[in-house]
Amino acid sequence: MPGGWHRRGVLAGLAAMPAMPALARRGVVETGPVQPTWPSLVEHYRYPDWFRDAKFGIWSHWGPQSVPEQGDWYGRFLYMQGHPMYRHHLETYGHPADTGMMEIQNRWTADRWDPDALMKRFVKAGAKYFVSLACHHDNLDCYDSAHHAWNSMRVGPKRDVVGIWAKTARAAGLRFGVSNHASHAWHWYQPAYGYDPEGPRKGQRYDAYRLTAADGRGKWWQGLDPQALYTGRHMVAPDGLDTIAAMDAWHTAHDGQWIETAPPGDARYARQWLLRQADLVEKYRPDFCYMDNYELPFGPIGLAAAADYYNRSIRWHGKVDVVLTAKQLKPYARFGLVQDVERGFSDRLWEEPWQTDTCIGDWFYNRARFTDRSYKSAEDVVQRLADVVSKNGNLLLSIPQRGDGTIDAEEERILDDLAGWMAVNGSAIFGSRPFHVYGEGPTQLATGMQNEGAFKGFDARDVRFTVKGGALYIFFLKPPRGRAAIAALGSKRWQAQVERVSVLGSGQIEYGRSADALELDMTNSPDFVPVVRIDGRGIVPA
């Protein structure tokens, strides 16, 4: 994407959308002071204080792909022969030429979903904002969608999932958000048009390739067009691939790429995406919107969606008081959105607020995470939260739900452990601001996305700082035993006067200070991520 779209090019792109002025007049696309250009987004955007204060959000990354309890991207991998999810699908539901993802979507019952009880747990665990998945790559809108018939009012739960979450979150005093992943559906779903390259049903095309609206007569999906769900034949694997390896290589080289442009020769999909996005934000007025994109999708159409959201916020609140996140922002886009770092770390203190999002397990519920006890622990989450907040960021944490809407006993325990830590130490997180340095310690974090898997853990010498109300807070990411020395707080590097030192939840502790370090007696510190409060004079944020 070129640096700063020229307005003429943007407006030309928007003008190509049928009846664009009429849509604006009807309020489908909001007009206002924010124009669909990067310079205008940067000019008008301000980071909301509520977001800077919130620090911690919980995400219900929940939809039909939770039904098989196999983890992420089930709707794609069930169509890739040789993949474990293909094998699970074949054994559990049947061959994908006969039973595909649309049938899984209708099995999403949500019949044991108790949003009020879950929200109470999330609030106790410290969440200050809550995010509902609105539409994933599987292209089902989990809300009362005006522009996409494949939605949760007609398929699966037969309920307005986003609307129910919105009401529940706001009743609990939380800010509410949505996440939109649907811009990638058009290439992500293309394996559904493929076939088995090997075996007894070799060459038989899968359900997306053969089903039309007419085939639904007398079935549960009568009146729905499968092609509107599966998005159409944009990158169909050619005939004649006769090995699993060859088919996998074809998908990797074509529909397996992360593509932010519109489908070739099909501008309608991108236009429809804009209508769905505008409808989503107008119906539920989210405080927060997560875009699963590198910058914004579909060139000028993505810019139009951002301007639409900001202009609506001005109408709702009198100012831009919302958060729109995206990933991999280039310099011209910086300060026009909030940058999100998916499942990754930062090695620096940011000038602007940012966010990282992660999950205690897989994004979609995976039963194996429970059976092999491989979730992130509450300690892992708190370590990550302290690290991110010390660097001027927020943490958005996904708690996966089963297809029926419940969470498992291990997830409940993790949330309860978080609640216990927050009850004692939350004052050091919420409403805080960064210190002049984020912290110190021997652990070197590799900056970037999707690099959590290589992380080996923190050290007892790794500390992080925040400042709030004239006090400095020190987070020990691993509990030290005995005396701990912090070089950044020695008198030659930090000029403030220390008058009182205490461990939150435990009381005052002994300390000593020299030019080289502040030394603390941490002999009896809590079991995970103890927090020390320093009161004195001259303690100010960065």
pLDDT, block means (10 residues), the chain with 542 residues = 28 42 61 97 98 98 98 98 98 98 98 98 98 98 98 98 98 98 98 98 98 98 98 97 98 97 94 97 98 97 98 98 98 98 96 98 98 97 98 98 98 98 98 98 92 90 97 97 95 96 96 97 93 96 91
Burial class of 99 by CB neighbour count within 10 A (0 to 12, 13 to 18, 19+): middle
511-513, strands of its sheet edge to edge: 483-486, 518-521, 511-513
Say what the pTM is: 0.94
Q: Do β-strands 129-135 and 439-440 pair in parallel, antiparallel, or remain unpaired?
A: unpaired
Q: Do β-strands 497-503 and 531-537 pair in parallel, antiparallel, or remain unpaired?
A: antiparallel
Say how far apart CA 354 and CA 52 lie, in whole Å.
9
Q: What pLDDT was estimated at residue 168?
A: 98
Q: What pLDDT was estimated at residue 26?
A: 53
Say how far apart CA 172 and CA 162 lie, in whole Å.
15
Strand, helix or coil for residue 484: strand
Q: What pLDDT was estimated at residue 446?
A: 86
Q: What pLDDT was estimated at residue 23?
A: 52
Q: Which residues of 222-240 are buried (b: 16+ CB within 10 A; e: fewer)?
A: eebbbeebbbbebbbbeee
CB-based contact 235:255 (threshold 8 Å)? yes
Q: What pLDDT was estimated at residue 453?
A: 82
